[in-house]
């Protein structure tokens, strides 16, 4: 069944569960607003704007999880934030007519999903370098400098989308739903397949709810989901079953990586990496696979003791290091964020986002 069988409805207005990843599903008894007014209200009478306090009380609890949803759809934190703003603007305009016909949460996800699907930037896919081709065959050639532009994926700080005070099981689910392996796989899917997979398999909405969100039918949703799952399986996702970042073995390997860079200890880096380790620099199409090749590339930048300072952070549900590099004046300037996929027996993948502008998103200064 073709993707076109799931058509968007209300494009002009909507352009722009067991909820595992970001928030425990609220009961519909608690998240449905009262009816907007009498059923006999004169249809020609302009709808009164919603009460700001009422609107905020009913919609703001979902902002964090909607940001995570838009990020999964877009692969870009910048774009996700724009889409969340668009979602709330359209929700504000449409709230008087909403009248509690579904839960607030389902209604907001419908607006957000269609905003994502109808945004022109959704035509851009943002895979990691490993999604663009085979690893570099020449270990002695450094990758090209990262090129700026909107086509590359961005990491997302855990603090923006995961509440550390939530139920531990929900925290684990939220981390799993943002991991780089999943994000990279999603970026390889067409938009509607991506939407259905996220809504069904990540957020656990029913097929009927998803069909209503997309203005399609349940059979069409099931067909899209089947193809999306097949696409994800075909892409392969190394590291998708990596242990939690709080696992003692993971923490020890991450700390070893940080110390190795700060001490310019290439031998310690070698002990931390797994034999099949991969290195990717977002913005450069070249990437490297295998411990020997990765070590040659890392040896080019490890420098001298004290050149690097690493600040531990969390991104995409994974351990990450915000790296500062020593400048000519002896200070340390923001360089980039390395997100690590760590298994119990070694570091599987290093993905470097060489973008100093990411540091404010993690609450970090531009220099230290």
Does residue 270 lie within any of the structural domains?
yes
Confidence at 131, pLDDT banded by 50, 70, 90: confident
pLDDT digits over 62-117, tens only?
999 999 999 999 999 999 999 999 999 999 999 999 977 779 999 999 999 999 99
**Span of 4-8, 240-244, 270-274, 338-342 with lowest mean pLDDT:** 4-8
pLDDT digits over 194-233, tens only?
999 999 999 999 999 999 999 999 999 999 999 999 999 8
- Is 31 a residue whose pLDDT tops 60? no
Does residue 207 lie within any of the structural domains?
yes
pLDDT at 23: 41
Percent with pLDDT over 70 in the chain: 82
Q: Considering only CA atoms, which of 89, 108, 101, 94 is closest in space to residue 34?
A: 101
Residue 65 CB partners (closer than 8 Å, separation 6+):
19, 21, 22, 23, 161
- Is 182 a residue whose pLDDT tops 50? yes
Q: Which domain holds residue 114?
A: 3-125+156-235
Q: Considering only CA atoms, which of 84, 110, 80, 77 is closest in space to residue 195?
A: 110
Q: Specify whether 230 is located in the same domain as 253.
A: no
Last residue of a domain, which of 210, 235, 260?
235
Q: Specify whether 99 is located in the same domain as 44.
A: yes
Q: What is the CATH number of the domain that holds 20?
A: 1.20.140.160
d(CA 238, CA 235): 10
Confidence at 49, pLDDT banded by 50, 70, 90: confident
Number of domains in the chain: 2
d(CA 49, CA 290): 59
Which has more confidence, 40 or 101?
101
Does residue 304 lie within any of the structural domains?
yes
Q: Considering only CA atoms, which of 295, 279, 21 is closest in space to residue 172?
A: 21
pLDDT at 2: 47
- Is 360 a residue whose pLDDT tops 90? yes
Confidence at 160, pLDDT banded by 50, 70, 90: very high
For the segment 285-312, the average pLDDT, to the nearest whole number, is: 95
- CA dihedral 36→39→45→46, nearest 10 degrees, is 20
Last residue of a domain, which of 191, 211, 235?
235
What the block records as the tokens of 40 is 């006999």
d(CA 252, CA 361): 26
CB 318 within 8 A of CB 180: yes
Q: Specify whether 172 is located in the same domain as 262.
A: no
- Is 5 a residue whose pLDDT tops 50? no
Q: Would the CA dihedral through 88, 89, 91, 92 be positive or negative?
A: positive
Does residue 243 lie within any of the structural domains?
no
d(CA 346, CA 342): 6
For the segment 148-170, the average pLDDT, to the nearest whole number, is: 87
Q: DSSP string covering 95-154, please?
A: HHHHTTSS-HHHHHHHHHHHHHHHSGGGG-----GGGSSSPPS-TTSPPPPPPPSTTS--
Does residue 352 lie within any of the structural domains?
yes
Span between the terminal Cα atoms of the chain, in Å:
55
pLDDT at 18: 38
pLDDT digits over 9-24, tens only?
333 344 334 344 444 3
For the segment 265-272, the average pLDDT, to the nearest whole number, is: 98
Q: Specify whether 259 is located in the same domain as 221.
A: no
HSE, CB side, 13 Å, CA atoms: give it for residue 207: 10
Q: Specify whether 80 is located in the same domain as 191.
A: yes
DSSP 236: -
Beta bridge partners of 273: 347
Q: Characterize the bridge pairing of strands 318-326 and 308-315.
A: antiparallel
Q: What is the CATH number of the domain that holds 303?
A: 3.10.450.50
Beta bridge partners of 315: 157, 318
- Is 33 a residue whose pLDDT tops 60? no
Q: Specify whether 29 is located in the same domain as 112.
A: yes
Q: Considering only CA atoms, which of 265, 291, 267 is closest in space to residue 349?
A: 291
- Site of tokens 């979602």: 87
Radius of gyration of the chain from its Cα atoms, rounded to whole angstroms: 22
- Site of tokens 């470097």: 352
pLDDT at 9: 38
- Is 168 a residue whose pLDDT tops 80? yes
pLDDT at 44: 44
Angle made by CA atoms 75, 21, 223, in degrees to the nearest 5 = 70
Q: Specify whether 98 is located in the same domain as 50.
A: yes
DSSP 361: G
Q: Specify whether 254 is located in the same domain as 345.
A: yes
Q: Specify whether 205 is located in the same domain as 108.
A: yes
Does residue 197 lie within any of the structural domains?
yes
Does residue 146 lie within any of the structural domains?
no
Which has more confidence, 318 or 243?
318
d(CA 225, CA 245): 30
CB 68 within 8 A of CB 175: no
Q: Specify whether 98 is located in the same domain as 199.
A: yes
Last residue of a domain, which of 235, 264, 298?
235
Does residue 50 lie within any of the structural domains?
yes
Q: Specify whether 64 is located in the same domain as 206.
A: yes
Q: pLDDT averaged over the chain?
A: 86
φ, ψ (nearest 5 deg) of residue 228: -65, -45
Beta bridge partners of 349: 278, 341
Q: Specify whether 254 is located in the same domain as 224.
A: no
**What predicted TM-score, i.e. pTM, was given to this entire model?**
0.84
């Amino acid at each position: 069944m073709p993707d076109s069988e799931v058509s968007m409805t209300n494009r002009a207005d909507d352009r722009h569960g067991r909820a595992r990843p970001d928030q425990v599903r609220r009961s519909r008894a608690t998240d449905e607003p009262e009816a907007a007014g009498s059923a006999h209200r004169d249809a020609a009478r302009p709808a009164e704007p919603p009460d700001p306090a009422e609107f905020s009380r009913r919609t703001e609890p979902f902002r964090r999880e909607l940001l995570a949803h838009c990020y999964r759809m877009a692969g870009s934190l910048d774009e996700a934030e724009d889409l969340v703003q668009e979602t709330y603007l359209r929700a504000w305009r449409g709230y008087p007519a909403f009248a509690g016909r579904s839960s607030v949460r389902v209604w907001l996800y419908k607006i957000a999903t269609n905003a994502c699907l109808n945004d022109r930037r959704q035509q851009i896919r943002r895979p990691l370098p490993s999604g663009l081709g085979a690893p570099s065959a020449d270990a002695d050639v450094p990758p090209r400098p990262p090129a700026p532009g909107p086509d590359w994926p961005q990491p997302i700080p855990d603090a923006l989308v995961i509440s550390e005070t939530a139920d531990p099981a929900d925290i684990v689910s939220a981390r799993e739903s943002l991991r780089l392996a999943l994000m990279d796989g999603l970026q390889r899917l067409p938009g509607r397949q991506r939407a259905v997979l996220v809504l069904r398999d990540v957020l656990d909405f029913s097929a009927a709810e998803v069909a209503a969100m997309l203005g399609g039918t349940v059979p069409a949703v099931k067909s899209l989901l089947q193809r999306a799952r097949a696409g994800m399986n075909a892409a392969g996702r190394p590291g998708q079953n990596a242990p939690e970042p709080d696992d003692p073995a993971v923490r020890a390997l991450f700390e070893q990586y940080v110390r190795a860079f700060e001490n310019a200890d290439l031998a310690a880096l070698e002990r931390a990496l797994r034999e099949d380790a991969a290195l990717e620099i977002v913005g450069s199409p070249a990437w490297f696979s295998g411990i020997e090749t990765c070590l040659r590339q890392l040896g080019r930048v490890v420098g001298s003791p004290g050149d690097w300072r690493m600040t531990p952070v969390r991104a995409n549900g994974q351990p990450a290091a915000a790296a500062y590099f020593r400048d000519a004046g002896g200070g340390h300037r923001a360089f980039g964020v390395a997100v690590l996929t760590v298994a119990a027996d070694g570091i599987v993948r290093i993905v470097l986002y060489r973008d100093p502008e990411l540091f404010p998103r993690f609450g970090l200064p531009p220099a230290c």
